[in-house]
Structure 1
Amino acid sequence: MASSTVIAKTDVTLAWIDKHTEPVEPEQYGPLSAQFMPVMVNELSRRQRRAKQEALAKEKALQRLHTAEQMTTLGQLAAGIAHELNNAIGVVNSKTERMQQDLLQLLEELHPEVSGYFDVGLMQGQAVSSSEVRRIAKRFQRDYRLDRDTAKQLARALSDNPVPESWLSDPSKALKYWGMGRDLHDLKIAARHTVGIVKSVKQLGRTDGEPDELLDINDTINKALALLQSDLRRVSVRMQPAVLPLIKGASTEYVQIWSNILKNACDALQQTDAPNINIQTKFVNQRILVTIANNGPEIDEPTRRKIFQPNFTTKKGGLSFGLGLGLSIVKRIVSEIGALLPLRAMRLAPSFASSYQ
């Protein structure tokens, strides 16, 4: 009895056996059924493997199609939001420039003696991490006999440089005007970064973005840390940068990746005593590896499986409500730059993915 129908696409030689076929050396190899069984098992196994591969390929194709549809719809919505944000940030950007000019003019006219402090903050901002601030502050306390708070403020303002005599004579005044300059410096950086974010959000449902500069990954991480200064005030951040090769890409998009992950980590650490975030970069096997880890609680498995889905968020209320777009944007950017996917969560907080490789 035939068990299957075979249609050959080319000329073939067909061989078959039936119940009248004589077994070959049955004394040594057993009856016909025993001799033919390995052939049958091998063929069935081969067909099963092929069917499984085809099913997996079909499932992946459907997933890609579903993701493409989601991202296209999300991209259309995001483009509308981005248009409105672009108008608003344009006003912020222009007013910031005007404010800078007016403040510089006022200080030169009314308080020329403090304009130098303002200029330091405006030009440099705060370029040191919280761990570096603590180290430098201890040296300032010892060398200049300062109290702890003043030493920390001066460490933020002057990094590891010697403290000028003018700053030591009236540190409160110097730090006050330095802080004004720093805040304006941060406002300008945030405004420029937001312009880049708006551009990136417009690309949410598209894949035609073009890298346009050579950059150092460590620099993009430091820019993200600068943007999140207010969120990181109570968090101890430790940065362990390696010497990395320059790569071609859009700086704004990399800053967006780190900003989203670090902001999520900050939110996850709100209930953690002595919160800390460790950032490490390496160059291994011709790949750049960035590890961000924190000491917050782990995320539950059902939530972990959804963290990269558009519109999924666990931030439902209060000042930390979320739109569910952050990690979707991260995944899109990482996919486009050709990094390893899927992103592998290492330690995850209950509400926010906070550590990835």
Structure 2
Amino acid sequence: GLQAIEKEKALQKLYASEQLTTLGQLAAGIAHELNNAVGVLSSKTESLQQALCQQLEVQRPQAIAFIEQGIESGQQSGSADVRVRSKALMAQYPSLSREQAKLLARAVPNGDITPDWLNDLDMALQYWDIGRDLHDMKIAAKHAASIVRSVKQLGGSDQDRQTDVDVNDTIHKSLALLQSNLRRVNVVTHSATLPTITASTTELVQVWVNIIKNACDALENTEEPTIEIITRHSKNRLLITISNNGPMIDEATRRKIFQPNFTTKKGGLSFGLGLGLSIVQRIVDSYGGTVALKSDTERTKFRIKLPIA
């Protein structure tokens, strides 16, 4: 009886580790192919940016400041902030169209709108928008390259940890990468000022991307879909809570959700590997942190604790 159960458990463990070994070998091959593709994307984005800026210097010098602002800062506001800001701008400048106000709210998230924007607003917004796209392409290429690196070492994960990582910053990076997934979702963030920690930005971005993307998928049929992200710290820990108002996750699913090849999506995750939340678990574990999931009819909440020291 008891021996048989132990034997079954040992076999399951072996099967899981064999699966991960095979997956690791498979991943290394895929990573090599992807690495080349990502390298091309990255270098061509840089070339495109240089060529565009050189051409503008000759043909449209007045556009340079706007494209550079887009490249430098990208879009820093979430969808809820943009809505509030664009309403305020329409009240302040009645001649703005809704579309202009929305873009302007993204480009200048706070403070006064300087006259150089208003001289030729459509031109300014057009070039800021191109700059923002180049900014996002570079972040995405960097992120993809880092994910490829992480996939290469599916087992260990002490790579590239820096001493002064701001967790809020890694969350903003994740939201920038998931812009297209978040178009119809209201994202609310409550960020406390956090002490920095020793961490790999890539690993943390992976954690947030996986959890938030999961929430986006769950919110597909929810009216007024909302994701709320709260960060704070108490004693020697950072607490990050990511919750959504999607359907409840039942207990059986909750128990299995962090397993490597578990997915509730037909045909596997959109990534195809079904590794999303198991990677979250692995990365958080490697920091000596914890990840917990609670779900009821009103909201589903992931709560991550990371040690500061």
Please classify the TM superposition score into its range, dividing by the shorter chain length: 0.7 to 0.9
Q: Which residue of 1 aligns with 2:76?
A: 127
Aligned in 2, Cα 1:193/1:262: closer, same or farther, shift over 3 Å?
A: same
Matched, 1:85 2:34: yes
Note the C-alpha offset of 1:207: 4.9
Instruction: Indicate whether 1:76 and 2:34 are aligned.
Output: no
Partners of 1:334 and 1:74 in 2: CA distance: 20
Per-residue CA deviation, residues 80-109 of structure 1 (Å, 9 max, x unaligned), is 211111111011111111111111112122
1:210-268 CA-partner distances (Å, limit 9, x unpaired): 62332111111111111111111211111001121111010110001001111111121
Match of 2:177 in 1: 227
From 163, 166, 191, the counterpart of 1:213: 163
Larger radius of gyration: 1
Q: Which structure: greater strand fraction?
A: 2
Residue 311 of structure 1 pairs with residue 261 of structure 2:
yes
**What is the CA–CA distance in structure 1 between the aligned matches of 2:242 and 2:8, rounded to whole Å?**
32
Query: Do the aligned partners of 1:122 and 1:185 also contact (CA within 8 Å) in 2?
Result: yes
Tell me the TM-score normalized by structure 2: 0.87
Aligned to 1:336: 286
- Spell out, residue by residue over 1:132-186, the C-alpha distance to the aligned partner (whole angstroms, 9 max, x if none): 2122223212222234332221010111031122322332222111111110110
Query: What is the aligned partner in structure 1 of residue 294 from structure 2?
Result: 346
Structure 1 residues 354 and 196: CA distance shift in structure 2, 3 A: farther
- Matched residue SS, 2:182: coil
> Are the equivalent residues in 2 in contact too, given 1:316–1:322 (CA < 8 A)?
no
- For residues 38-82 of structure 1, give each alpha carbon's deviation from its aligned partner in whole angstroms, at most 9, with x where no partner exists: xxxxxxxxxxxxxx9x99999987776555444333222211211
Q: Flag the 1:280–1:309 CA change in 2: closer, same or farther, 3 A.
A: same
Q: Distance in 2 between matches of 1:210 and 1:187?
A: 22
Output the amino acid matched with 2:60: H
Cα–Cα, structure 1 residues 322 and 272, in superposed 2: closer, same or farther, change >3 Å? farther
CA contact (8 A) 2:245 2:300 kept: no
* In structure 1, C-alpha distance between the alignment counterparts of 2:158 and 2:114, rounded to whole Å: 50
| Counterpart-to-counterpart distance in 1, 2:66 and 2:105 | 14
1:190 matched to 2:118? The reply is no
Written as runs of structure 1 = structure 2, the 5 A alignment for 1:253-292 is 253-292=203-242
CA 1:138–1:208 in 2, change beyond 3 Å: closer, same or farther?
closer
Cα displacement (A) at 1:309: 2.0
Structure 1 segments unaligned to the other structure (5+ residues):
1-51
Backbone CA RMSD of aligned residues: 2.8
1:107–1:264 CA distance, 2 compared to 1 (3 A): same
Q: What is the TM-score of this pair, normalised by structure 1?
A: 0.76
* Equivalent-residue separation in structure 2 for 1:96 and 1:176 (angstroms): 18
Q: Which of residues 97, 104, 110 in structure 1 aligns to 2:59?
A: 110
Give distance in 1, aligned partners of 2:234 and 2:8: 33
- Give the secondary-structure state (helix, strand or coil) at the position aligned to 1:324: coil
Q: What are structure 2's unaligned runs of at least 5 residues? A: 304-309
Q: 2: CA distance between counterparts of 1:354 and 1:87? A: 38
* Shift in CA distance, 139/207, structure 1 to aligned 2, threshold 3 Å: closer
CA 1:211/1:115 → structure 2, altered by over 3 Å: closer, same or farther? closer
Alignment length (residue pairs) = 300
Q: Distance in 2 between matches of 1:234 and 1:72?
A: 38
Relative to structure 1, the CA distance from residue 129 to residue 261 in structure 2 (aligned partners, 3 Å threshold; closer, same or farther) is same
CA distance in 1, matches of 2:183, 2:39: 28
Q: Which moved more, 1:101-110 or 1:287-296?
A: 101-110
Helix, strand or coil for the counterpart of 1:346? strand
Partners of 1:215 and 1:58 in 2: CA distance: 44
Structure 2: how far apart are the matches of 1:122 and 1:209?
28
